[in-house]
Amino acid sequence: MIGWMDTLAIGAVGYAGVLGSTASLLYHNSPIIAPVITRCAGANSVALTFDDGPTPQFTIPVLKCLESVGAKATFFCIGENMAAHRSLVKDMLAAGHCIANHTWHHDHAGILGSKHYWLSELQRTSYLIEDISGACPRLFRAPMGFKIWNQAAAVKKMGMKYVGWRAWAWDTTGINAERIFRRITRRLSPGDIILLHDGLEYARRHETQTATVAALPHILEYIRQHGWYMNSLAML
């Protein structure tokens, strides 16, 4: 006979299993729901990527820093931010950076959205990028890296590719520049895709990415010292 404590233990194990399975599905590099690009091309390269922009007070100094060392990056941009700063997007493209899709609203509740919702988010953003650049983006990064079935169906319909990351700093959590640098570089190796943030999505609209801007020159110098070059993912 199974007692109540045994029942509770079995239930806890089952609940943990469900949580573990859910986490594995949502994990930003998980291929379970859809294929994900997790490495960049080139035997001696790393890829710099920035999310949530453009936000002028952070994106502009990031661009200046990249220009100072001749580095190219991939910017996963939010549609409503691009609509508000079209000229800045043009500057990013003119500088040779790759502009990719990061949805229109970056709504955290979007994880519950239908396929129609996700198609709208992706199409609206891609059409804006195409209107500005003349080319429809091929790359997509999910908000917070979370992948779900309805979203994956929309990504497939749009003919786009998911992009994950290997090196990240949680630089949206208010940590200082030194900690951002340490977290990015502690296990950095060739082929890694780096995730940083140059912008603010709606849920963080009153926050700041000044620490990321401050850490970037040191990250770039670390990459240079190791003889690695920076890949914009534009050819994927």
| Residue 233 region by backbone torsions, left for phi larger than 0, else alpha for psi between -120 and 50, else beta | left
pLDDT at 26: 64
pLDDT at 236: 73
Which of 97, 85, 71, 75 is closest to 217 using CA atoms?
71
d(CA 61, CA 90): 16
The domain ranges of the chain are: 1-30, 35-231
Class of domain 35-231: alpha beta
Give, for all 236 residues of the chain, the pLDDT tens digit.
444 444 443 343 333 333 333 445 567 899 999 999 999 988 899 999 999 999 999 999 999 999 999 999 999 999 999 999 999 999 999 999 999 999 999 999 999 999 999 999 999 999 999 999 999 999 999 999 999 999 999 999 999 999 999 999 999 999 999 999 999 999 999 999 999 999 999 999 999 999 999 999 999 999 999 999 988 898 77
* pTM given for the model: 0.90
pLDDT at 8: 41
For residue 169 the two structure tokens come to 């700093």
Q: CB-based contacts of 87: which residues, under 8 Å, 6+ apart?
A: none
